[in-house]
Amino acid sequence: MNTISPPRIRPIDAADEPFLGQMIFYAAHMHLEAGKTVEDVIQNPTLANYVTGWGRPGDLGLIAEMEESQTAVGAVWVRLYTGENKAYSPTADDTPELAMAVLPAYVGQGIGTRLLQGLIDVARPHYPAIALNVRANNLALRLYQRLGFVVVSELTNRVGSLSYDMRLHF
């Protein structure tokens, strides 16, 4: 029987920015929208803000990478948005917003859980909380709740459906 080693988890660096764009494509469910491509992430200023210029102060994140091929298969990261420069969550300036995705072929293998637990451990000494938005029908909602995130409000997302604004307070 062939077994595949679990991916290694490593910090995100500036060279990973194109992969983060791909991850936002999946996190925003653009892969389910007819005709949308990863390039559409860059054309959307709010979504591009999650990845453009990776490595600025406050950026923290992890990538899951298959050791054999060194292929990235998932990522989770937080980024601070200050003043009027907010993403989707109305957060305090010291509370970053989280983004995460795993490539569809690797979903359901525990990679997202490992990534998110690792990020929580890395972020805890730096921030009072982490914010995120998730669609109400996204299966990841259960993961977020299991790891301590709670719904603080509801909002209408970019495609007009229900999303939850969630927080994990340290």
pLDDT in tens, 117-164: 999 999 999 999 999 989 888 888 999 999 999 999 998 877 777 889
Sorted by where each begins, the domain ranges of the chain are: 8-169
Name the architecture of domain 8-169.
3-Layer(aba) Sandwich (3.40)
Per the prediction, the chain carries an average pLDDT of: 87
Per-range mean pLDDT, top range of 1-5, 23-27, 85-89: 23-27
Q: Check residue 5 and give its pLDDT.
A: 75
CB-based burial of residue 100 (10 Å sphere; 0-12 exposed, 13-18 middle, 19+ buried)? buried
Q: How confident is the model at residue 88 (pLDDT cuts 50, 70, 90)?
A: low
Maximum C-alpha span of the chain: 54
Q: Which of 31, 5, 64 is nearest to 159 (CA)?
A: 31
117/113 Cα distance (integer angstroms)? 6
pTM of the model as a whole = 0.88
Q: What is the mean pLDDT of residues 81-86?
A: 66
User: What pLDDT score does 1 carry?
Assistant: 43
Question: Which H or E run includes 46?
Answer: helix 45-48
DSSP 111: H
